[in-house]
Chain A
């Protein structure tokens, strides 16, 4: 990645938190989209908001950006009310929407210029920021090309450049790597980490849990409008168990195996994923391994099951998500 500063030296606001959400409710008629939501995002923190489709993520983000008014509760962005002090909040907020939302018939440079004009940049400063963002997005040589000729990754990089052009202190990225190739994904991850280095706060939604695991300082999991878990990736995974024993079993019904194993002391939970069973173990040290694992294996073989494959590993965020929401993140 080019060593380009993301910042145009807009002064860092003095508020303690980038985002404070307190007892937030949002109703659409009789439908409760968000219920008693509470979380905070610290300055310089990357916060991942995860949830299945329709869980209330977008509604929450619309309230944070001031596009939608809460039914009750409070949202503050750097101590400011996004509805009452909307212009100040909008200057502090950069948004990278999921669908990139660029004018495809116009050039990359013109797309950035229009954004700069909306944010009131004058000619010289506008030119400088556009050049910096083209450099950041590694699109200097394509500045005069129409966006419709760009690949998905190039469009995503340009979209990030546009969001950062006015030097926001809070950047919201909605599925930033959806549909991009691995190289572009790595570039975008680097951008996000660089934002954090420069003291910017990042609010990220993603369907890729490995992405949340790799980037986020903390994660909030939202389902049916409720925040059902919040913490660091490591802490969330620890809730699921310290280790997971993956067993690929034939010869018996996996539901029967689950029933058998749930009664074993030290087994925290069990998920059936296709033809395997993921057994979450509450805690496993060297001593436990010597006693707990043989017990589990004997129970399986006694039930007539044949173990085709076995592996002991750390729990994944997917499993945490599945155990908390009862469904996959892409459902």
Chain B
């Protein structure tokens, strides 16, 4: 009787979510918006736009230095013909600096004479200006390494830890799955539980000849079905971006456990708040800071120790790490896989207990 009732409560909640799809829409809009933001962040923040005037482009060393600038992994280069054209781009905020490779540059280098490269820098954007200041010596070093390898008494030999690179955008994109589960879970669980209190139908559930646990199970199950549907849509977006999980089992497992944790916490919040209007901002107020400190932009060991310690208390950082590993084969946390899974499962049990006690407390206080 209890499981049957839970099944019907789940179906009822799913019907209500279909006719009133606020939580479903938010659970998709938020991660997709984050993806757009990350793309803009990665594209806009990655390379510095500069103008380059290569006066003797046909000459060997001029072409070599232009290549060195392009290989510095810092510049997005607009080639212009005159300094005034470069200045116009700076004025139009389309360029941060103008680098002029002058006439006679090749000859000077060939004759081992000093060659001066004029650099006009818009230092209004301090970050970009510093990028240029760092990259120019690097480009000169690259140039010498390329054209006069014997003139440099040392070099380096790269040994890669992983078989493939993980791009910044690739890393950021995977974390949208975490934010989808985090915000979606809190919204599905919270709004589903709060709705019955808000419209008074909780009394009908409380007065039905069913065990109280069937209400909690029904609410959790409805949240899981909705959350899984949203997670699948976010996964499709990741696949379209070319981010195919290397470990499907781990990806699905982390999705289910993380979703369960946040749906359970959502049911607890909904039972306490008894209002969908409170649950929605609470989900964002709780979820977004947690997401940002939990390795969304990079491994937490790269952030400040305090932020990393706070992040370690919550399950989001472990979910993020497990997703990165499932997609990129890259383990970005100093917790072993066994411990990570134990922590995630412990959170699932804790969240379930919290949701149950919150629901029982709410019904007893009625």
Write the residues of chain A forming the contact surface with B, with a CB cutoff of 8 angstroms. 62, 65, 67-68, 86-88, 90-91, 93, 95, 97, 99-106, 110, 114-115, 117-120, 146, 162
B1 at the interface (CB under 8 A from A): yes
| Mask: chain B, 2-36; 1 = CB below 8 Å from A; 0 = not | 00110011001001100110000000000000000
A146 to B4, CA, bound (A): 25
Which residues from A are CB-within-8-Å of B12? 103, 106, 114
Establish whether residues B15 and A106, one from each chain, have CB atoms under 8 Å apart when the complex forms: yes
- The B interface is mostly helix, strand or loop, or mixed, namely helix
With contact pairs A62-B366, A114-B8 given, residues A101 and B209 touching in the complex (Cβ less than 8 Å): no
Total contacts A to B, CB within 8 angstroms? Answer: 68
Establish whether residues A101 and B204, one from each chain, have CB atoms under 8 Å apart when the complex forms: yes
A90 to B200, CA, bound (A): 17
Which residues from A are CB-within-8-Å of B4? 117, 120
Which residues from A are CB-within-8-Å of B77? none
What would 11 A/B residue contacts be, using CB atoms closer than 8 Å? A68-B364, A97-B200, A101-B200, A110-B15, A114-B12, A117-B5, A118-B5, A118-B8, A118-B204, A118-B209, A120-B209
Establish whether residues B209 and A115, one from each chain, have CB atoms under 8 Å apart when the complex forms: no
Establish whether residues A105 and B207, one from each chain, have CB atoms under 8 Å apart when the complex forms: no
Known: A87-B209, A115-B208, A118-B204. 8 other contacts (CB 8 A): A97-B200, A97-B203, A101-B199, A103-B16, A105-B19, A115-B204, A117-B5, A120-B4
Which residues from A are CB-within-8-Å of B201? 101-103
Establish whether residues A90 and B207, one from each chain, have CB atoms under 8 Å apart when the complex forms: yes
Establish whether residues A99 and B200, one from each chain, have CB atoms under 8 Å apart when the complex forms: yes
CB < 8 Å neighbour of B207 from A67, A100, A102: A67
| Chain B: interface size category | 20 to 34
B205 at the interface (CB under 8 A from A): yes
- B1's nearest neighbour on chain A, judged by CB, is A120
A38 to B211, CA, bound (A): 30
- Closest CB of chain A to B348's CB: distance in Å? 28
B206 at the interface (CB under 8 A from A): yes
A224 to B127, CA, bound (A): 71
Which residues from B are CB-within-8-Å of A91? 209
Establish whether residues B210 and A118, one from each chain, have CB atoms under 8 Å apart when the complex forms: yes
A115 to B15, CA, bound (A): 15
- A93's nearest neighbour on chain B, judged by CB, is B207
- Closest CB of chain A to B329's CB: distance in Å? 45
- Closest CB of chain A to B190's CB: distance in Å? 18
